[in-house]
Amino acid sequence: MIAALGLVVGIVLGILLQPSVPLALQPYLPIAVVAALDATFGALRAYLDGVFDDRVFFVSFLSNVVIAALIVYLGDRLGVGNQLSTGVVVVLGIRIFTNVAAIRRHIFHA
């Protein structure tokens, strides 16, 4: 309950305050969002598995976001930014799908 409230508060804060993202970081925002979603769904699954640990969630969230952005940044420097973005999205997408499928099995037992 508190978690859902936190999510809503965060969204409202982001939209209302609109903190200006530095122009240099703007290309990495979408990939950071995908990485954050991956960490969050992983945490939800862990919670349902009964192994949730908020410290692990915190660390995995931060590291996912930073590493995904770093990989894309590196790709941009090397001139293969688009390809690396695609790779990151594919990997994270597979993880998200797998975790969401596990969550679904927990909730609906199917």
User: Would you tell me which residues interact with other proteins (CB under 8 A)?
Assistant: 2-15, 18-19, 21, 26, 29-30, 32-33, 36-37, 40, 42-43, 45-46, 49-61, 65, 91, 94-95, 98-99, 102
CB of 16 to other proteins, least distance (A): 8
Q: Which is nearer to other proteins, 79 or 102 (CB)?
A: 102
Contacts 24+ apart (CB under 8 A), 68-74: 68/28, 68/31, 68/32, 68/34, 68/35, 68/92, 69/25, 69/28, 69/31, 69/32, 69/35, 72/27, 72/28, 72/31, 73/28
Q: Which is nearer to other proteins, 4 or 110 (CB)?
A: 4
The residue among 51 and 110 lying less far from other proteins, judged by its C-beta, is 51
